[in-house]
Structure 1
Amino acid sequence: MMQLEQFIKTHGEELLRLAYTYVKNKEAAEDIVQDVLLKAFEQHDQFRGEASYRTYLYRMTINRSTDYLRSWSYKNTILTEKFQKLIKGTKSAEQEVLVLSENRTLGEAVLNLPVKYREVIILYYYKELKIDEIAEMLSCSDNTVKTRLRRGREKLKQTLEGGAWDDEFSSEKSY
């Protein structure tokens, strides 16, 4: 049991942040990461080593997150939250945390991007993965990742126009 605890400490927080960027719900992200870590731990000896273990865990988390986004429970949760907001007129706990964050404007802008742009922005800037690692993880070409990064930055710039974050995304980061 001690090995499982160490496995969770090593990978849990990073995967939780990744899952949250997809599902935008803390509890759902925790469930996803729990599933991924348990499955990865149980099947650790079946890892083929074709990619880094970190990339393998990211891919599992991304796949599980997108499965969740396609599920009926997610769609039902979103509908319920919209009705609650209409009735209460208040923000969810996750939104309040973002409002209190000093990077809330950028965080909200990134989370509001379409998934294909959001994932490359997060993997490149926040997880500091290389273009080829992202391409491998997302099963697409390097050029597709570069295009999505460029378009994602453009969308962020449009969203943040006139904000304090213009300078950060207006200059191209070298590939």
Structure 2
Amino acid sequence: MDVLAKLEQQDERTMKEVMDQYGSYLKRSSYLMVKDEQLAEEIVQDSFIKAFRNIHQLKEPEKLKSWLTTITYNLCRSHLRKKRFKLFSISDHDHHLEDEREEQPESYIVRISQNQQLAKAVLQLKDTYREVIVLFHYDEYSIEEIEAITGMKQPTIKTRLRRGRNHLKEILEKGGLGDE
């Protein structure tokens, strides 16, 4: 029996496997959008609830990840429209580093610091730029996939990526990484 059929039957083991497989990824992505760890967790929980209730709408199992991402980003956007947030400091742990244990301690620490600075800079971007930057660079979606997830046209995505990168460069060059 395939994953979608098991999810349609509300198989708890399969639901847990899907949450384990995509939970950290969705939380990191939503955190980069809403800038609040607890809110990101709530959004991911809501995303899974919404996905499992509407799993019958998904016809292709290979699109499960992008479908979950779309639901999560739509919930993030909805929340951001309702309320604007001040920039919160990014937590000290880096969600993007995983299998680099064999690296020299000095270079590992330098890279963690650089990644944290970059993440802080990303959090300072306007929502419109941050969204495409996160999808493209952190989540590694193609322009076509971002178009499907966000509903934006490709030229808009490319323009926002270019402008977002330029803003990131300015933030990093100025060293303006303090809390605002």
Q: TM-score, normalised by structure 1?
A: 0.73
**1:28 aligns to what?**
39
Q: 3-state SS of the aligned residue for 1:128?
A: coil
RMSD, aligned α-carbons: 2.7
Would you tell me which structure has more helix in proportion to its own residues? 1
The CA distance in 1 between the partners of 2:19 and 2:90, in whole Å, is: 26
**2:24 aligns to what?**
13
Percent identity of the aligned residues?
36
**1:56 aligns to what?**
67
- The offset of 1:48, in angstroms, is 3.9
**1:138 aligns to what?**
150
- The offset of 1:70, in angstroms, is 2.8
* Letter in structure 2 aligned against 1:141: K
The CA distance in 2 between the partners of 1:42 and 1:119, in whole Å, is: 26
* Letter in structure 2 aligned against 1:19: S
The CA distance in 2 between the partners of 1:44 and 1:63, in whole Å, is: 16
| Contact 1:98–1:108 under 8 Å retained in 2 | no
* Letter in structure 1 aligned against 2:145: E
**1:97 aligns to what?**
92
Deviations 1:136-175 (A, max 9, x none): 2111111111111111111111111166xxxxxxxxxxxx
**1:168 aligns to what?**
none
- The offset of 1:3, in angstroms, is 1.9
Deviations 1:44-103 (A, max 9, x none): 1221449922221111101111222233xx55xx5xxx7xxxxxxxx96x5452799522
* Letter in structure 2 aligned against 1:17: R
Unaligned runs of 5+ in 2: 1-11, 95-108, 176-180
1:129 and 2:141 matched:
yes
Which 4+ stretches in 1 moved above 6 angstroms? none
Q: 3-state SS of the aligned residue for 2:152?
A: coil
Q: 3-state SS of the aligned residue for 1:97?
A: coil
Q: Relative contact order (alpha carbons < 8 A, sep ≥ 6): 1 or 2 greater?
A: 2
The CA distance in 1 between the partners of 2:90 and 2:169, in whole Å, is: 21
**1:151 aligns to what?**
163
